[in-house]
Amino acid sequence: MFRIITFILFVCYLMVVGLLAYTQVIEAVKASAEQDIQDVASRLDIELDKYRTLPRVLVLHPAISDVLTNPDKGNVQRVNDLLDTYNQSLSSDAVYLLSATGLTLASSNWDQADSFVGNDYGFRPYFQQAISGLEGSYFALGTVSGKRGYYFSFPVHNNESIIGALVVKVALSVIEDYNANADSELMVTDDHGAVFYSSHEAWNYSSLVTLPDAVRAEIIRQKQYGNGPIPLLTKQHSLDELLELDTLTLQYLSQQRTYLIADKTMSQVGWHLIALTPINQAYVLMGWILIGAIVLFVLVALLSMSWRRNVIAQRQLAAVNEQLELRVEQRTAQLQQTNNTLVETIDKQRITEQRLKETQNELIQAGKLALLGEMSASINHELNQPLTALRTYSETLRLMINKGKTEAFGETTDEIIKLIQKMATIVAQYKLFARKSAGKTGPVRVADTINASLSILESKISKMKTHIQIEPFDNQLQVMGEAVPLEQVLVNILNNALQAQEEQAEPKIELSVEVNTTSLCLTVRDFGPGFSEEQLARVFEPFYTTKGRGLGLGLTISQRIMASFGGDIRAMNHPEQGAVFTLSLPMNAE
């Protein structure tokens, strides 16, 4: 009887322990898998964010738009070398430039066997997004390299029109380096359930659920996952219903294998990270737990099922439960810490962007004050002449008072007033130029900008006996910009033109205005030595100067000011002699 009762108790004990063990093991395995894919998702988000805004920055290089408007052999080779430099610096898979029709004009892998140059990618969504004026992003299998990659694209503008797209391809090695349990599998799908990555090679470029005919046709048209068929792995019709399941049975090599499912949705890119853990692992763990329970029961039975042994067994079971609860709390704390870190990172990024904007404004103001510093000798000379004359008139007036000659008081006083008004005009002119920008764009008369800039440099122009030739144009022409920063750009270019001719006996500067359909070009030409090829290639680089003085930021700041107006600044050598700078600005439509 004792044996029967013991056997019944033993069977009940095993059933209870088995049920508890199964529940705990399944939860632990799924929690571990969820943590693994959460780590992968976090690293993927970081890597994607690192590359997301790069095309927006890379298209600012003037050589990018130049090769699209003038795709001669020399321009193409320069851009090939430039993109190769970008690719090596960014550790990306490839960087390439597409024309307005989707044809690859230049690429970082131009000299490799699998070069993208000459290939048409007009069917790719990332190109279609960029050519419509949007930032593009897309995941696909490379049609030439056969490598998986995530593509970021950005339109290349020429004035108001889009003339091409710059694309950065990233290999996303994070999912390739998945370090989960060797018996577990990682699968990454799109919103439709198409598998574009799996740690089990046979599942790649298949589908977890039945794809609608339209979706399947679009994937094949875009060659998103190559040219092959898209085999079906399950009989499910909806990805959401499949992810609600606890287990999933798939063909693995030559046999069916059942897996526990853990998933993580990356809504920003429309991906689902799915971790598949063989359920056999849970059975093995549960088997070990049951073996331990049997041993424990046998030991307790051998010790006469004493109350003391029962208390010990209960304490041991409570310790196991506490340990499991502690692990759950630790996992929860880790997730909370990760979330807090992410929030702090976003706040820091926001603060950094604000500081960057403030720093850029201060840099423009510093460039303006530095330019005034360079002209300080001219300003001093310009003020010194009326001051000297003012002193002479004042001494003359005092002498006439002492001698009682009052008939010339009015004439002398009028001259003194004229001199004071002249000095006030000079000071007001430089004060207006030195003030900070309001940051508001509006209509600006080109004639006013030219006159104000020449007035600021009037002393230096007179001292050097420089001939200023302005081609006739409509004085009512207006562009969209801001008066003071635009004057800063023109003063900087005119000052550079004067400095380039300091050693010449008869300096000369030509200004001309040309009107296009939607833009206006203001051209400044000097008759100095011009630029060497190296100087011309680096003239807009920060801290690059050929004058032996100054910070080398004038043209860099000018380029940023012009870009803020939606305009552009270009430098070139005149075929006959001297340097030519062209300012392109949008016309005032009103």
Q: pLDDT, tens digit, for every residue of 305-347? A: 677 677 787 888 888 888 888 888 888 888 788 888 888 878 7
pLDDT of 33 reads: 84
Using the predicted structure, report yes or no on whether residue 517 has a pLDDT greater than 80. yes
pLDDT of 287 reads: 84
Region 290-310: mean pLDDT is 77
Q: How confident is the model at residue 147 (pLDDT cuts 50, 70, 90)?
A: confident
**Is there a contact between 385 and 419 (Cβ–Cβ < 8 Å)?**
no
Q: Could you give the C-alpha distances from 63 to 75, 158, 185, in angstroms and in order? A: 7, 12, 46
2-52+180-282: CATH topology is Beta-Lactamase (3.30.450)
Would you give the DSSP letter of residue 120?
A: B
Q: 522 or 552, which is more confident?
A: 522
Residue percentage of the chain with pLDDT more than 90: 28
The CA radius of gyration of the chain, in Å to the nearest whole number, is: 38
The domain segmentation of the chain, as residue ranges, is 2-52+180-282, 54-173, 375-435, 439-586
Taking residue 279's Cβ as centre, other Cβ atoms within 10 Å add up to 19
pLDDT of 116 reads: 93
439-586: CATH topology is Heat Shock Protein 90 (3.30.565)
Q: What are residue 548's phi and psi, to 5 degrees? A: 80, 5
pLDDT of 2 reads: 65
Give residue 270's region: left, alpha or beta (phi > 0; psi -120 to 50).
left
pLDDT of 341 reads: 81
Token pair recorded at residue 412: 């002398």
- Segment 408-443, tens digit of pLDDT: 666 667 667 755 665 555 554 455 445 555 567 789
Residue percentage of the chain with pLDDT more than 70: 82
Using the predicted structure, report yes or no on whether residue 472 has a pLDDT greater than 50. yes
Residues in the chain, how many? 590
491 SS3 class? helix
Structure-token match 């007001």, residue found: 428
Q: What are residue 374's phi and psi, to 5 degrees? A: -65, -30
Q: How confident is the model at residue 36 (pLDDT cuts 50, 70, 90)?
A: confident
Tell me what the pLDDT averaged over the chain comes to. Answer: 82
pLDDT of 171 reads: 82
Would you give the DSSP letter of residue 202?
A: G
Nearest to 299 by CA among 316, 286, 282, 283: 316
pLDDT of 432 reads: 45
The C-alpha atoms of residue 127 and residue 508 are separated, in whole angstroms, by 47
Strand-strand pairing, 255-266 and 206-207: unpaired
Q: Could you give the C-alpha distances from 535 to 83, 532, 556, in angstroms and in order? A: 20, 5, 14
The highest-level CATH class for domain 54-173 is alpha beta
Would you give the DSSP letter of residue 466?
A: P
Give residue 249's region: left, alpha or beta (phi > 0; psi -120 to 50).
beta
Residue-wise DSSP of 569-580: EEEEE-SSSSEE
Using the predicted structure, report yes or no on whether residue 391 has a pLDDT greater than 60. yes
Using the predicted structure, report yes or no on whether residue 212 has a pLDDT greater than 60. yes
Orientation of helix 554-564 relative to helix 307-374, angle to 10°: 110
Contacts of residue 53, Cβ cutoff 8 Å, sequence gap at least 6: none
The C-alpha atoms of residue 300 and residue 298 are separated, in whole angstroms, by 5
Region 535-557: mean pLDDT is 74
Q: Decide if 2-52+180-282 and 54-173 have a common fold.
A: yes
Alpha helical stretches, state H, 445-574:
446-456, 458-464, 483-500, 533-538, 554-564
Using the predicted structure, report yes or no on whether residue 263 has a pLDDT greater than 50. yes
The C-alpha atoms of residue 489 and residue 212 are separated, in whole angstroms, by 58
Q: How confident is the model at residue 359 (pLDDT cuts 50, 70, 90)?
A: low
Using the predicted structure, report yes or no on whether residue 574 has a pLDDT greater than 90. yes
